[in-house]
Amino acid sequence: MKKLALLGVLAVILFLGCPGSKVTTITVTPAADTTGIGLTAQFTATAYDADGGVISDVTFTWSSSSAATATVDDDGLATGVATGSCTITAASDDVEGTATLVITTGPTHHSGAITADETWYPSGNPHIIDNDVWTENNATLTILPGCVVKFEPGTELYTGYSSTAGAIVANGKADTTIIFTSNATSPSPGDWAGISLWDNAMNTCSFSYCTIEYAGMGAVYGSFYATGINYVKINNCTIQHSGSNAVVFHSSAGFTSFTNNTITDCTGYPLSIGGEFVRTIGSGNTFTSNTTNAIYVLGAIIHTSGTWINPGVPYVIGGDIDIADNNTNPVLTIAAGNTIKFQPGYEMYCGYSESGGLIADGTAGRITFTSNVPSPSPGDFQDIGFWDNTIATSKLVNCNILYAGGYYGNVYINASMPEIRGDSIGYSETWGISLNGATHPDRDSLLAHNTFFNNTLGDVSP
């Protein structure tokens, strides 16, 4: 009995003497923050063991590398004292975690016209837009990397609207971005209007490595709007949480470059652009989690040859696409793998009034032309048309053409010789392919080299 009691005592001693999990790393979040003199920034610390597990109930000792720049209390709340940068440290025993805190002279308030060149520095963060800000009189507003620009409700930043020119240049860096955001305590989509470039915007306007969020208050203009200029540059930017469409271009506006952007969580479309300027959309863009995850294309006459790249989401056609210009002989090329969806009643055609061509070769990935109606029906859109001024290289190869035939057929050929093969053509309200004029591909060859189904009047017209 005494022996058992002694063993029990030893067990208790051993249990009480076992140390808890040892802290091996500490992470402080956020890793970097900015605040102003007399303003605060809240930091939190998390301790981890050697296996990466979180250790709770750890007491941290907080310190600032420069109390003259910022102080920090026992709960990780830092207060700015003077402009500069310091390191905020959370420690437990001999383990430390750190974060960087920058103290600026901000907030800096802005409103009204900028009539001479002006530069905004991150040392003035946050920059608060109290009322609309715009540039005119050939002035350029330069916003430097690291700037945080916050907008009061309904306000916007724009240039080129007045009778004199202006520019906005906001080029951040991969590791030092520029942020355009709401000044609300709890921001919501549509808090502020957006950024816009109008007819007199200078061609030096540029946006790179920027985040534009919680804008899009107006359904017409979106978070970023452009009209009357075809040299807009937006690269490596993130546009998110828009209250309406994200990027809205009037039919007269296009890009010099639009690459490696991410547009996410926006109400409406991530991008709306005129048909003539779809060719200016660049590569590397990502469109995710938007209400309508597609690119909206305004109807247009196509005057310039170019390619509609495959952006990873469908194009939605919101007006007739007419490829025609005797001076430029434009050819529109649809890249492999694309899906082109038509709003009811619209069509895509070439060579109707003037010279033009259409090339849609889905050999490397089938191209689909179809209805944008949620429950599609025959005749939802009109047709893909080739008229008598069609350029000879035009083709529909390895494509799906579905739910058209509102006029003549899913495909209409009038006195022209496009190459039509490997296509699946179905659910036409009229003919699968409608032929007219003295010159057109051989009917028997069309029947032999394409697949037809469920076409109301038949597969190929007599």
Q: What are the structure tokens assigned to 312, written together?
A: 């990873």
Pairing mode, strands 25-29 and 44-48? antiparallel
Q: Which regions of 335-374 does DSSP assign to beta strands (E)?
A: 339-342, 348-350, 357-361, 367-371
Element (H, E) at 2: helix 2-17
Note the pLDDT of residue 39: 82
Q: d(Cα 361, Cα 332) in Å, to the nearest integer?
A: 11
Residue 10: pLDDT band with limits 50, 70, 90: very low
DSSP state of 356: B
Q: Are 253 and 226 spatial neighbours (Cβ–Cβ below 8 Å)?
A: yes
- Supply the mean pLDDT for the chain: 93
Domains 24-104 and 105-293 in one fold: no
Q: Where are the beta strands (DSSP E) in 190-268?
A: 194-197, 206-208, 210-213, 224-226, 232-235, 238-240, 247-249, 255-259, 262-264
Residue 21 neighbours by CB under 8 Å, 6+ apart? 49, 53, 55
Confidence at residue 179, expressed as pLDDT on a 0 to 100 scale:
98
83: confidence class by pLDDT, cuts 50, 70, 90 = confident
What average pLDDT does range 110-120 have in this prediction?
A: 97
Domain ranges (residues) in the chain: 24-104, 105-293, 299-462
* Residue of 127, 130, 136, 170 lying closest to 154 (CA atoms): 130
Taking residues 294-308, report their average pLDDT.
98
- Burial label for 170, CB within 10 Å (0-12, 13-18, 19+), is buried
Q: Which two three-digit tokens encode residue 46?
A: 């998390």
Tokens 């249990």, located at residue: 15
Question: In this prediction, what percent of the chain has a pLDDT beyond 70?
Answer: 96
377 or 9: which leads in pLDDT? 377
pLDDT (mean) for 377-388:
98
pLDDT band at 2 (very low <50, low <70, confident <90, very high): very low
Cα-Cα end-to-end distance for the chain: 109
Tell me if residue 445 falls in helix, strand or coil. helix
**317 or 14, which is more confident?**
317
Q: Residue 143 and residue 147: Cα distance in Å, rounded?
A: 7
What is the torsional sign of CA 88, 92, 94, 95? negative
pLDDT at 218: 77
pLDDT tens digits for range 310-361: 999 999 999 999 999 999 999 999 999 999 999 999 999 999 999 999 999 9
CATH topology of domain 24-104: Immunoglobulin-like (2.60.40)
Cβ atoms of residues 119 and 79 within 8 Å: no
Residue 174 has pLDDT above 70, yes or no: yes
Q: How confident is the model at residue 21 (pLDDT cuts 50, 70, 90)?
A: confident
- pLDDT (0 to 100) of residue 20: 59
Q: Is the bond preceding residue 311 a cis peptide, omega within 30 degrees?
A: no
Query: Looking at per-residue confidence, does 5 or 45 come out higher?
Result: 45
- pLDDT range class, residue 105, cuts 50, 70, 90: confident
CA 276 – CA 250 distance, rounded (Å) = 11
Return the pLDDT at 38.
83
- Token digits of residue 94: 């001999």
Which CATH number is 105-293's, of 1.10.20, 2.160.20, 2.60.40, 1.25.40?
2.160.20
Q: In sequence order, what are the residues at sequence separation of 6 or more whose Cβ sits closer than 8 angstroms to the Cβ of residue 207?
A: 168, 170, 171, 195, 224, 233, 234, 235, 237
Let me know: does 85 contact 102? Beta carbons within 8 Å: yes
Cβ–Cβ < 8 Å for 236, 174: yes
Buried-exposed string 222-237: b where 16+ CB fall within 10 A, e elsewhere: bbbbbbebbbbbbbbb
Q: With bands split at pLDDT 50, 70 and 90, how would you rate the model's confidence at 104? A: confident
How high is the pLDDT of residue 5? 42
Looking at per-residue pLDDT, the higher value among 83 and 345 belongs to 345
Sign of CA dihedral 393, 384, 408, 319: negative
Instruction: Encode pLDDT of 201-259 as tens digits.
Output: 999 999 999 999 999 997 779 999 999 999 999 999 999 999 999 999 998 999 999 99
pTM over 0.85: no
Mean pLDDT throughout 431-440?
Answer: 96
